[in-house]
Structure formats: structure tokens, C-alpha cells
Amino acid sequence: MMPFRRPNIARSYGDTLLRWCAAAALAVDAYVHADLAEGYDAVVKSVSQGDLFRIEAALAALAALLLLIRPHRPALAFAFLVAAGGLAALLLYRYVDVGSLGPLPNMYEPVWYTDKQTAAVAEAVAALATGCLLLTHRRVRA
């Protein structure tokens, strides 16, 4: 017979707080990218930068919903990849002029402005929160 184990309430609240924080940050990221997309439709090679922003917005929104609806390990990993990948792309194209890559246009933009800073902070928060959840993950119930 297994001994009775009390659930770790503090850990449960901490996990829930991190999930909601990550979901909120991903929602902010999705909003910023969706809002900026139209302004970047002119930056085109085979795919426009506006389309890439729309894809990022859709992926971030999906990741946020998955964190809230079904917080299992694959959802955490997906959310982490979306947030960390978005932040990596943002920083790369802020600091390095890599030019066009395959069908991707040259997205080099060596300036910081409010929406870019907002997206960077949101992606960093989401990546940190989901990274912590992945490292400490155990079976989580919504």
C-alpha cells in the first residue's frame, strides 16, 4: 500500500502562475506581430516579412491556448520553441545583416522601437517561464 502524499500546493500554484505568465506573454507577442504584419508586407522575396509576422502571431496564439487548455510536456516544448525562436530571430535580425536566406527576405532592422521591445520582452518572459516549467515538469492538471 502506498503512503498518502500531500500535494505540493505551493508548487502547483507556482506552475499555474508560470503557465499563465507564459500564456499572457505569448498573447502579447501574437498581438504585436499581428498588428505589425501589414506594415511589413512590402518586404518580400518569395515570402513577405508580413506573412512571417502573421505566422509568428498564429504560432504564439496557438502556444498560449495550448498552455491554458492542455499544459502537457509537448505543449510546453512547443511554447518554448515559439518564444525562444521568435526572440532569437528578433535579436539576429536586429544585430546581424544576414541578407536574404532562401525564400526569406532581408529582415535586417538595426533599430529598437516600442513594439520591437515589447515583443522581445514578451518572448523572453515566455521562454523563461516555459523553460522553467520544462525543467521542473511533472504531471500538471489544468
Q: Is residue 21 part of a domain?
A: yes
What band does 9 get if pLDDT is binned at 50, 70 and 90?
very low
Can you give the residue range of the structural domain that contains 131? Answer: 9-135
Instruction: Indicate the pLDDT class of residue 56, thresholds 50, 70 and 90.
Output: very high
In total, how many domains does the chain have? Answer: 1
Residue 130 lies inside a defined structural domain of this protein: yes
Joined grid coordinates for residue 2? 502506498
In a domain, 43, yes or no: yes
| Chain centre distance of CA 41 | 22
Is 3 among the domain residues? no
Is 1 among the domain residues?
Answer: no
> pLDDT value at position 61?
98
At 96 the pLDDT is: 95
pLDDT in tens, 77-88: 999 999 999 999
Is there a domain that residue 65 lies in? yes
Residue 136: CA atoms inside 13 Å, Cβ hemisphere, count?
12
pTM: 0.86
**Domain contains 66:** yes
Phi, psi of 137 (to 5 degrees): -60, 135
Write down the mean pLDDT value for the chain.
Answer: 90
Does residue 141 sit within a domain?
A: no
**Orientation of helix 49-69 relative to helix 9-37, angle to 10°:** 160
Cα–Cα distance between 111 and 42 in angstroms, integer?
A: 18
What is the pLDDT confidence band of residue 12, given thresholds at 50, 70 and 90? confident
